[in-house]
A and B are shown apart, each in its own frame.
Chain A
Amino acid sequence: MLDVSRVQKELAECNRDTAISGVSIALHDGGSDLSRLSGTISGPVATPYEGGTFQIDIRLPSGYPFEPPKMQFVTKVWHPNISSQNGAICLDILKDQWSPALTLKTALLSLQALLSAPEPDDPQDAVVAQQYLRDHQTFMATARYWTEAFARRSSVGIEEKVQKLVEMGFPEDLVRSTLESVNGDENQALEMLCSS
């Protein structure tokens, strides 16, 4: 049985200081299932991931918090410990070193720390790890390019995005809810609005 009250508390707690921590959690696709969440972390400064916003798919097993949450990068990222193919993460606290005193927020913060401190000796993606060790410069360039290409979120504020989409002729409340469900991605929101 999933500890619903704990998950709700965690969500409230995590989203209280999003601006400072740089991590946030929302229900997956704006649904109501507490076992499917999506997390967002901002790329740490002074790394090739700076300026990027990374989406993480979170699935809570029924034994949570006594079993670790399952986390995977949705946003493509070039990192020795994250699969460049499917976003699988190699991090001990998400496996055998999980502890029930850890939370989704601390797990996301650990991912953020992993971005700034890769562990090439314990790789998830051998190709990236090889490049990290042998040709660090190329690694840095690729990681930065991937951040620009896949993780860049326009710097425009949410209000401006809403205004832009409303000007295109969509009702305001629909625009707001759509933007929220895609975590503020303007293009994705437009796509959804057009297809609906």
Chain B
Amino acid sequence: MSKRILCKFFLHGACLKGEYCEFSHDWQDQPNNICTFYQKGVCSYGNRCRYDHVKVSRQQTSRPSSLNTASHVTSDFHQVTLPPVVSLTREYNPEPSTSVDVSAMSLAHTLPCKPAWTKAFEVDTSLNDESGPCPTYVSPADQPICSFAASGKCPRGDRCPHIHGDLCSICGKHCLHPFRPDEREEHIKMCHKNNKHLEALKCSQEIECSVCLEHVLSKPTAAERKFGLLSECDHPFCISCIRNWRSNSPASGMDVNSALRACPICRKLSYFVIPSVIWYSTKEEKQEIVDSYKIKLKSIDCKYFDFGNGTCPFGTSCFYKHAYRDGRLEEVVLRHLDAEDGSTIIAKDIRFVSGFEGG
């Protein structure tokens, strides 16, 4: 059942269980965003809580806290029961004052149901008494690794009943599961990627903008701490400086095509600027930044196209999404004109005005 609920740890890219996780690792599934504290009537965050404050019907609340926390600790997914039809009734905070004013800790003691963290702790200690997980029915690959060791240091050291993961040479944590090769590989891959990003960020700190002569990543406001990559050359500028220069009005005497759109250093023409928090060191890295930027823009509706109501001056070469209200994408229609020498040329958006001028 819980396989349909998106794993919260996976959501943050930090699930240590991989394919052995009892929660879904499929992005299509929805995460369970129900506040377990609210289910018990006490959430100290009140209406500021980031989780959903909804009442779940009685039978589901039988083990509400085991949904997220306990099940992850015990990996005993039989405990987790959730009816196929979840009837949720949203409540718009009926008693916000009590839930805010009374501290969660003190009230939890008066309630019959113990808070989730106490339960998790109990499970932990019981395992400790058993001197390790029962080897009869649990294969090593099915056991989770010690999360203390995985996040840095396990206070129990060698006496810990859980398996301690192998050391990841990149992040320096004992988080590689000894019996799950796929997961190991995945982690190492992720770690490599993160590490590369950090390295790139470190190198980027030193890069200076040639216009304001400041370190780009040390600019006073966060919005300015970004590079503006030019598509055709590799000279670094901060995004605000390069945009400022390119948006300079031609009335100032500068030529748009030979000066404003050119790189201030090498004067090579670039037709667009890509914002990026890191500075690249290889061509591939740059391409990656450019591609992901384009993909991001392609998911945003173009304000000029306006779902077909307006006209976009960039036409089919616009970076933004040209889709109608019903989700249909704008068709790319290329008008072919037969040139005199027999070859075919593709006409760009033919305008009313140009027709008159040409005619």
A→B interface (CB under 8 Å): 3, 5-6, 9-10, 63, 65-67, 95-102
Does B254 contact A98, Cβ atoms closer than 8 Å?
yes
CA gap between A96 and B253 in the complex, in Å = 6
A159 CB, min distance to chain B CBs, angstroms: 34
Other A-B contacts than A6-B214, A101-B211, 10 sampled, CB-CB below 8 A, are A5-B212, A5-B213, A96-B254, A96-B258, A97-B258, A99-B262, A99-B264, A100-B210, A100-B264, A101-B210
Does B255 contact A99, Cβ atoms closer than 8 Å?
no
Does A100 contact B245, Cβ atoms closer than 8 Å?
yes
Size class of the contact patch on chain B: 20 to 34
* Leading 4 A-B pairs by shortest Cβ distance: A101-B264, A99-B264, A100-B211, A101-B210
- A63-B252 contact, Cβ under 8 Å, with A96-B259, A99-B264, A100-B245: yes
CA gap between A10 and B241 in the complex, in Å = 17
Chain B residues near A98 (CB-CB < 8 A): 254, 259
B189 CB, min distance to chain A CBs, angstroms: 39
| Nearest opposing residue in chain A for B247, CB measure | A66
B232 CB, min distance to chain A CBs, angstroms: 15
| Nearest opposing residue in chain B for A7, CB measure | B213
CA gap between A95 and B253 in the complex, in Å = 7
In the complex, B267 has a CB within 8 A of chain A: yes
Chain B residues near A67 (CB-CB < 8 A): 248, 252
B→A interface (CB under 8 Å): 210-214, 235, 241, 244-245, 248, 252-255, 258-259, 262, 264-265, 267
CA gap between A66 and B235 in the complex, in Å = 17
Contact of B241 among A63, A95, A97, A100 (CB under 8 A): A100
Contact of B265 among A6, A63, A65, A101 (CB under 8 A): A101
Does B245 contact A66, Cβ atoms closer than 8 Å?
yes
Does B253 contact A10, Cβ atoms closer than 8 Å?
no
Chain A residues near B267 (CB-CB < 8 A): 99
CA gap between A5 and B210 in the complex, in Å = 13
B212 CB, min distance to chain A CBs, angstroms: 6
| Nearest opposing residue in chain B for A102, CB measure | B264
CA gap between A102 and B264 in the complex, in Å = 8
CA gap between A99 and B254 in the complex, in Å = 9
Question: Which residue, B211, B212, B213, has most C-beta atoms of chain A within 10 A?
Answer: B213
CA gap between A102 and B267 in the complex, in Å = 12
Chain A residues near B212 (CB-CB < 8 A): 3, 5-6, 65
A60 CB, min distance to chain B CBs, angstroms: 14
Does A97 contact B211, Cβ atoms closer than 8 Å?
no
CA gap between A67 and B245 in the complex, in Å = 9
B54 CB, min distance to chain A CBs, angstroms: 51
Chain B residues near A66 (CB-CB < 8 A): 244-245, 248
Chain B residues near A5 (CB-CB < 8 A): 212-214
Chain A residues near B213 (CB-CB < 8 A): 5-6, 9-10
Chain A residues near B214 (CB-CB < 8 A): 5-6
| Nearest opposing residue in chain A for B253, CB measure | A96
A88 CB, min distance to chain B CBs, angstroms: 15
Chain A residues near B258 (CB-CB < 8 A): 96-97
Chain A residues near B235 (CB-CB < 8 A): 101
CA gap between A96 and B259 in the complex, in Å = 7
Question: Which residue, A5, A95, A97, has most C-beta atoms of chain B within 10 A?
Answer: A97
CA gap between A6 and B213 in the complex, in Å = 6
CA gap between A100 and B228 in the complex, in Å = 15
CA gap between A99 and B258 in the complex, in Å = 11
CA gap between A63 and B255 in the complex, in Å = 16
Contact of A99 among B244, B252, B259 (CB under 8 A): B259
Chain A residues near B259 (CB-CB < 8 A): 96-99
Chain A residues near B265 (CB-CB < 8 A): 99, 101
CA gap between A97 and B254 in the complex, in Å = 7
CA gap between A96 and B256 in the complex, in Å = 10
- The contact sample of 5 A-B pairs, CB cut-off 8 A, is A96-B254, A96-B259, A98-B254, A98-B259, A100-B211
CA gap between A63 and B211 in the complex, in Å = 12
A107 CB, min distance to chain B CBs, angstroms: 14
Chain A residues near B253 (CB-CB < 8 A): 95-96
Chain B residues near A9 (CB-CB < 8 A): 213
CA gap between A98 and B248 in the complex, in Å = 12
CA gap between A175 and B254 in the complex, in Å = 44
CA gap between A53 and B244 in the complex, in Å = 36
CA gap between A22 and B310 in the complex, in Å = 58
CA gap between A99 and B268 in the complex, in Å = 12
CA gap between A102 and B259 in the complex, in Å = 12
